[in-house]
């Protein structure tokens, strides 16, 4: 028994109990509304606590206020499935410890969120499924234990694609998570709740898991950095499995430094997970301390063009990545196109998820006698699933045995793919391989997500770092994977750090802005008056909600205007030169009141004064004098 760990646990328990009593007896001062957590890094938050400008309790309260403002109301991101009822007491205990002995390290008192397939003492672990709504193991996953030992506060748990069997983050327990950059699009998956929550600044950073893209896809969709480590870098103990051969947990963050700090706290050998023995002696003392700002200078980056899309809908991402590569070249990198012989054949049918999912989940549930279900078959028989999962669940459940010829061929392909990748990297002398995380933009909610490039890392077991690579014309993020050699995470992170410095890729989503006195910004209301040629007047009452992009209107035309009116349109452009008609708000079958959901460019035009109204009448079908549409 590790007596040092026992003493630490006892000391923590005593501090936690004291903090709980103190919190009940005497509430601490409210969180300072003048401290803004939006886009703050872990080190900035730590510096504020060190300076006495902020406590961990107040920091928890500030993030809880953002969740209360944006997760269900307003943009209704639906990233959070539960907040931790013990988070404030944990923060109080950490504040007491800071005053008594100083911080444990950079994560001391820092709120984080975790995907709902990680076991947590304080909260159920549903894996996004109504079938597991009451499933509550009474222990923490290994990596959650490590985070708590580092002083992190588990603020809450995040939504995920049901049982991790998809990449759009929808499920029967908590429904659909929305992308905070475009509320009509998916946030990636299966760790989409963590991706959306971290992007929306609901916490400093978060934990996800990746079986085939489930960390990297949400990172790409949410303008984040995310790491799928070398198989064996981190423990799988206490994570609801999808495929034990391919499963791995890891962090998502808004910056490389934050990602490195989370990685420092979570990686390492777990005696209960034999695969982690491969990491022994191969992990640096600190990933954060190993970051190099000059890593891009002279770095050869192997661009795998076969993983770029060829369909018309893929061209947008290809163009953005090519533009991004040009920026890296100016910063000193040397991108070169390389070919991995036979890669398409190696990756085809290389996933072991179809063979393992049914059996690995059943084995996991068998270790938990109190689990409310025992198998995918139980879920199907009782109808405990979202309709979008039905076909996949049936396919998974139809597998009769794990050990088949197809499964053995997939395992052989895993080894062959790894050797082929390592040989190509050595032959071309490249520091990393590079390709789009997804070949096309995030799909709209309800549509299938195409273009996933998850297999190369998942099949080879080699690490891949998701890095933001820009935005589409309508403000949706896209990303790239940097894939490296076994346990080359430090080198990948340094490349990511240098890329971050060169490209400054982070942009906060429009839908979750800074709070105002602890609340979401109030919608803006105003009236526009339209003078018609017959002396009549029309007026439009407007309400604009900056957290949804919704522009509500209510038209009150005069009787004369009603008889003569053809249409009223919102146009792009200034007073002198009118641009295209964008949204009709009157005339024809258009109701006199409604909501226009402004696009990325529409929101920018409204805030910059580049929208106006034009009224069209029977006598003036070419339109009357345009009237500016100006926010108050």
- Report, as residue numbers or ranges, the catalytic residues: 115, 190, 214
What does residue 300 show for φ and ψ, rounded to 5 degrees?
-85, 125
Which pair of structure tokens corresponds to residue 615?
Answer: 């009224």
What does residue 308 show for φ and ψ, rounded to 5 degrees?
-90, 145
Q: How many beta carbons lie within 10 A of that of residue 560, not counting itself?
A: 16
Q: Are 481 and 464 in contact (CB under 8 A)?
A: yes
Residue 496 host element (H or E) = helix 489-503
Q: Are 196 and 423 in contact (CB under 8 A)?
A: no
3-state secondary structure 8-58: HHHHHHHHHHHHHHHHHHCCCCCCCCCCCCCCCCHHHHHHHHHCCCCCHHH
Residue 83 host element (H or E) = strand 80-83
In this structure, the chain runs to a length of: 632
Residue 580 CA neighbour count, 13 Å, CB half: 5
What is 233-270 written as a DSSP string? SS--TTB--S-TTT--EEEEESSHHHHHHHHHHH-S-B
CA angle 282, 284, 286 (to 5 degrees): 155
Q: Are 474 and 303 in contact (CB under 8 A)?
A: no
Can you tell me which residue has the tokens 């923590």?
Answer: 12
Judge residue 6's burial from the number of C-beta atoms within 10 Å of its C-beta, 0-12 exposed, 13-18 middle, 19 or more buried. Answer: exposed
CA angle 376, 378, 381 (to 5 degrees): 110
CA distance 24 to 22: 5
CA distance 125 to 136: 6
Q: How many beta carbons lie within 10 A of that of residue 383, not counting itself?
A: 11
Buried b / exposed e over 408-433, threshold 16 CB at 10 Å, is: eebeebbebbbebbeebbeebebbbb
Q: How many beta carbons lie within 10 A of that of residue 34, not counting itself?
A: 7
Judge residue 506's burial from the number of C-beta atoms within 10 Å of its C-beta, 0-12 exposed, 13-18 middle, 19 or more buried. Answer: middle
What are the residue ranges of helices labelled H in 102-180? Answer: 142-149
Task: Report the candidate in 551, 595, 476 with the shortest Cα–Cα distance to residue 182.
Answer: 476
CA distance 331 to 591: 53
Which pair of structure tokens corresponds to residue 516?
Answer: 């105002």
Judge residue 498's burial from the number of C-beta atoms within 10 Å of its C-beta, 0-12 exposed, 13-18 middle, 19 or more buried. Answer: buried
Q: Are 281 and 316 in contact (CB under 8 A)?
A: no
């Amino acid at each position: 028994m590790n007596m040092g760990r026992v003493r630490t646990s006892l000391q923590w328990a005593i501090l936690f109990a004291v903090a709980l009593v103190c919190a009940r007896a005497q509430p601490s001062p409210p969180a300072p509304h003048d401290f803004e957590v939006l886009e703050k890094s872990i080190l900035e938050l730590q510096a504020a606590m060190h300076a006495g400008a902020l406590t961990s309790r107040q920091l928890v309260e500030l993030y809880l206020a953002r969740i209360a403002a944006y997760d269900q109301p307003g943009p209704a991101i639906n990233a959070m499935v539960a907040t931790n009822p013990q988070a404030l007491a944990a923060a109080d205990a950490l504040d007491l410890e800071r005053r008594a002995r100083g911080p444990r390290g950079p994560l001391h008192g820092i709120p984080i969120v975790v995907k709902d397939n990680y076991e947590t003492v304080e909260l159920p672990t549903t894996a996004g499924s109504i079938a597991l709504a009451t499933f509550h193991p009474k222990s923490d996953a290994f990596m959650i234990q490590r985070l708590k030992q580092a002083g992190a506060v588990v603020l809450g748990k995040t939504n995920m694609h049901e049982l991790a069997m998809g990449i759009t983050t929808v499920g029967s327990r908590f429904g659909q998570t929305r992308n905070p950059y475009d509320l009509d699009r998916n946030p990636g998956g299966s760790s989409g709740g963590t991706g959306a929550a971290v992007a929306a600044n609901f916490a400093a950073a978060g934990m996800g898991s990746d079986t085939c893209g489930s960390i990297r896809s949400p990172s790409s969709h949410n303008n984040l950095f995310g790491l799928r480590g070398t198989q064996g870098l981190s423990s799988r103990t206490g994570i609801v499995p999808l495929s034990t051969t391919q499963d791995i947990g890891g962090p998502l963050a808004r910056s490389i430094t934050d990602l490195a700090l989370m990685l420092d706290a979570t990686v390492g050998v777990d005696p209960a997970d034999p695969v982690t023995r491969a990491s022994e002696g191969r992990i640096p003392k600190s990933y954060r301390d190993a970051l190099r700002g000059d890593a891009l200078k002279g770095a050869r980056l192997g661009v795998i063009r076969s993983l770029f899309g060829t369909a018309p809908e893929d061209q947008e991402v290809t163009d953005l990545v090519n533009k991004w590569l040009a920026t890296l070249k100016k910063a000193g990198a040397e991108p070169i196109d390389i070919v991995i012989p036979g890669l398409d054949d190696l990756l085809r049918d290389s996933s072991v998820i179809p063979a393992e999912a049914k059996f690995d989940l059943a084995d996991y549930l068998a270790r938990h006698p109190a689990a409310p279900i025992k198998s995918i078959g139980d879920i199907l028989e009782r109808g405990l699933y979202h309709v979008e999962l039905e076909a996949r669940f049936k396919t998974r459940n139809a597998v009769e045995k794990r050990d088949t010829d197809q499964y053995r061929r997939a395992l052989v392909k895993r080894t062959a793919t790894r050797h082929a990748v390592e040989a190509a990297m050595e032959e071309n002398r490249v520091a990393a391989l590079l390709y789009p995380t997804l070949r096309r933009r995030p799909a709209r909610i309800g549509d299938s997500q195409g273009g996933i490039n998850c297999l190369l890392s998942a099949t080879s077991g080699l690490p891949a770092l998701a890095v933001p690579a820009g935005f589409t014309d309508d403000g949706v993020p896209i990303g790239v994977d940097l894939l490296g050699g076994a346990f080359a995470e430090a080198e990948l992170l340094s490349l990511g750090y240098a890329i971050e410095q060169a490209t400054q890729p982070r942009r906060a989503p429009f839908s979750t802005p800074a709070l105002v006195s602890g609340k979401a910004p109030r919608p803006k209301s105003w009236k526009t008056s339209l003078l018609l040629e017959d002396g009549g007047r029309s007026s439009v009452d407007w309400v604009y909600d900056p957290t949804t992009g919704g522009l509500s209107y209510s038209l009150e035309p005069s009787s004369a205007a009603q008889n003569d009116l053809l249409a009223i349109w919102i146009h792009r452009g200034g007073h002198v030169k009118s641009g295209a008609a964008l949204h009709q708000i009157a005339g024809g079958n258009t109701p006199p009141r409604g909501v226009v959901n402004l696009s990325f460019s529409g929101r920018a035009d409204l805030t910059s004064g580049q929208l106006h109204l034009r009224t069209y009448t029977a006598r003036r079908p070419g339109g009357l004098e345009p009237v500016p549409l100006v926010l108050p």
